[in-house]
Amino acid sequence: MSPSTGVFGSESPKLSVGAFTGAIGDSVTVLPVVVAIAALTELSLSHLLLGFAVFQVVWGVRYGLPVSVEPMKALAALVIAGSLTTDELVVAGLLAGVILFTAGSTRTLRRVSHYVGEPVVRGVQLAVALLLLETGIRLSLGSPAFATLAVGVAAIVSVAGYRRASALVVLAVGFGVVIPQTGLPTPQVPNVAFVLPSLSAASPSALEGTAAQLAMTVGNAAVATSLLLSDYYDADVSPDELATSMGVMNLLAVPLGALPMCHGSGGVAGKYAFGARTAWSNIVLGTLYALAAVFAVGIVAAFPLSMLGVVLALVAVELGRAGFDTDARWFAVGVGLLGVVTNVGVAFVVGVVCYILWNRRSDATPPV
């Protein structure tokens, strides 16, 4: 296993078609969530997209690999569902940044991950998926005609063998519906904005959301991503390095209006599946995000909410599929349902305690 070798990686020094197609593999998990947050909250789409644009390029250059940059999905789902205010989202993102930076810098993340078992992570993913699904269904009922169109498009894309891209295609069709009404967007360069949350935003909800997000981040964004970078690119990037970069990213970006962001094994797998082999895919995708931040902002307010609901439901289904990817499905389902009945923070804490107790009872054998 070798460390990364610069911006272009070790396989191809040239900008290739794979850099463009590979960019799609990461965007399918980003754009639907980002557009939903911009449409349903007061957060600025341009600032959200610019955050992803900057750090796609930054981490591509830093690691010399097609590293993913994704939304922190637990926090994103909670703010979409209305369980977190935008101020609480900012607090949770900053708190997650501090914890990840500290854990990564002190090389303690891998040791901590031992106590957050895979079934707990999968259970939190299921809880987040169910929250997104509920919100998506509720939104889609507003206009059955648009919802039917979106479902039909998603079905065609899935039958054609591109299920993972179905949400992105529905999003594109939705913009196609909107543009004739709004006209072509005019360029709008976003202003620099500093987000300062109120003290009341440091609430139990923000803390619970942070706990739930860290459960997913430790397992999926750090440990699993490190393994995939090794498997796909023979690169030596430790979970602690990834935790440190996620901490830096959120501490710098969230106060400027960006969404809390993380790396993710799903994005790495998506990029690889779509042909990304070098960091050029990050540079291409970062450029596309920046262009979208300037040109596409004006049409988000007119996006059909019913189609957006279907997009969220599709994202929820994909996340839910990942939640079942464990031998201890009954454990994951229990954590997921508890997260829906109470909240994902409580589900995470209870899940960790139960996992530790089970391991002690079964002589350190994970539940099956």
Q: What percent of the chain has pLDDT over 90?
A: 35
The span from the CA of 116 to the CA of 224, in Å, is 13
How does pLDDT run across 303-327, given as a tens digit for each residue?
A: 888 998 998 898 888 888 877 878 8
> Quick check: 29 pLDDT over 70?
yes
Residue range 61-67: mean pLDDT, rounded? 93
- What average pLDDT does range 154-173 have in this prediction? 89
Phi, psi of 262, rounded to the nearest 5 degrees: -150, 170
Separation in Å, CA 352 to CA 140, 254, 333, 356: 35, 28, 14, 6
Numbers of helices and strands, H then E, in the chain: 17, 2
The 3-class secondary structure across 146-186, one letter per residue, is: HHHHHHHHHHHHHHCCCHHHHHHHHHHHHHHHHHHHHCCCC
Structure tokens at 43: 């957060």
Q: State the pLDDT confidence band at 223, using cuts at 50, 70 and 90.
A: confident
pLDDT tens digits, 81-102: 888 999 999 999 999 999 999 9
- Dump the DSSP string for 5-67: -STTTTT--S--HHHHHHHHHHHTTTHHHHHHHHHHSS--HHHHHHHHHHHHHHHHHHHSS--
Q: Output the CA torsion 35→36→39→44 (10° steps).
A: -50
Angle at the Cα of 97 from the Cα atoms of 92 and 100, rounded to 5 degrees: 120
Question: What is the per-residue pLDDT for 363?
Answer: 58
Distance CA 50, CA 109 (A): 28
- DSSP codes joined into one string, 86-116: HHHHHHHHHHHHHHHHHHHHTT-HHHHHTTS
Q: List the structure tokens of 118.
A: 């895979």
